Amino acid sequence: MPLQRTADFGTTDFEAKVNLVRASYGDLIAETTEFKIISQEISGSRYRCLFQVLGPPYHYARRIGGKTVVLEEPTFDLAAPRIKTIMPQLLQQLDQHEELGQGIRSVNIHTTLSGETMVALSYGQPRHPAWRDAAIAARDALDLTTIIGRSKGERECVEQSFVVERFPLDDEVVITLQQEEGVFCNPSPTMALHTMQWLVNTARSFCAADMNLLELYSGAGSYTPAMCTVFNKVHSVEIQRPLVEAARRNLELNGCQSKASVTRAPVEDCRKVLYNCEHEGVKFDAILLDPPRDGLDDFTRSKLHQFKLVLLISCNPRHKLLLDVQALADTHDLARFVVLDHFPGTTHLECAAALVKRESSDPML
């Protein structure tokens, strides 16, 4: 099957997307490959939703196909139950408090599995002088963890800039992540937990306790604390400063500072670590990569063969992830492959792969 260069599957049907993935990989998915499919219901799957706000009288709208589409009712099927509850109540607050509604352009509602809720209101003009009092009233009326106002580069928080998510990794371990407003996090925490559990279980199956992990594109450290439950040392590398700061906070929240480190490094420094497969005296046996949709660059892909275990997460599985798997075909076996329905009801699909180096492979390859 020809290589697909787009992350768009051209269909929202989950089974059809899975079949397209299988067809793309062909014989690369061997009889010995553990192929797993993790799906979720479309309704209620999204725990972070962005809406335009029009009015007064106030209505929600969404950008669909480049056009603004007004929601006839203050509800959204993909939204988590808590967001569905808040949506009409928030419009009532905007109608009741001119200080809150004046100049509003959009709202981002973020809730968690652990029951916390953050509402961020964005304005196209300076906020009303009495905005804070109205925001406190709305926070209390809607039982929010925090409410935030943004306008022209300014931000005001009542009383904090984040919510805290808790992921029950297993019966004994709960991973705690501080999710900052304005910093990316997975909008589907249930699927994020499935991904976390798959990574940990896979690493435990193929790694010894004294092995060390290099994590690239680590983001806000969404998976780093969980990987600390498996590996002796974990070193994460990220380019964006806000994500590095968030990742360090999450290591501290989970008491992982002695096992893990996070570095903000330019591309050149990342390449040095990859080339040497080492950082500050720590030799890496495994690597975890969760790149953006553009995937890995050629240099990074060319160095993956050094690692005993390669863990790859991709939102472009029929192109970028496939290139990575093909590049390792001479040295590694595709031991596990999982389809992760992070984007139900859309034309996109996320997948992850675990590739294990063959014992007979030439270490110089």
Which of 165, 166, 102 lies closest to 134 in space, CA to CA? 102
Residue 320 confidence class, pLDDT cut points 50, 70, 90? very high
pLDDT at residue 293, as a whole number: 83
Give dist(CA 70, CA 16) in Å, integer.
30
Please check the confidence at residue 32 and state whether its pLDDT lies above 90.
Answer: yes
- Whether 358 shows a pLDDT value over 70: the answer reads yes
Q: Report the pLDDT value the prediction gives residue 269, as an integer from 0 to 100.
A: 83
Q: What local confidence, expressed as pLDDT, does residue 258 receive? A: 93
Residue in the structure block whose two tokens are 């809150």: 100
Which spans in the chain are helix H? Answer: 14-25, 81-96, 98-101, 131-142, 189-206, 224-227, 241-253, 267-276, 298-302, 322-327
Q: What is the DSSP letter of 127?
A: P
Long-range pairs of 203-210 with CB within 8 A, sequence gap ≥ 24: 203/227, 203/230, 203/231, 203/286, 203/309, 203/311, 204/230, 206/308, 206/309, 206/335, 206/354, 206/356, 207/231, 207/285, 207/286, 207/308, 207/309
Give me the count of residues in the chain: 365
Q: What is the mean pLDDT of residues 316-322?
A: 95
Instruction: Find the mean pLDDT for residues 98-111.
Output: 97
Q: What is the mean pLDDT of the chain?
A: 93
Provide the pLDDT for residue 266: 78
66 pLDDT band (50/70/90 cuts)? confident
Is the pTM higher than 0.85? The answer reads: yes
Q: Average pLDDT, stretch 219-223?
A: 93
pLDDT at position 362? 57
Quickly state the pLDDT bin for 61 (edges 50, 70, 90): very high
Question: What is the pLDDT confidence band of residue 171, given thresholds at 50, 70 and 90?
Answer: confident
Whole-number pLDDT of residue 5: 62
% of the chain exceeding 90 in pLDDT: 86
pLDDT at res. 100: 97
What pLDDT, on the 0 to 100 scale, is given for residue 172? 86
**Amino acid in position 144:** L
Q: pLDDT band for position 361 (50/70/90)?
A: low
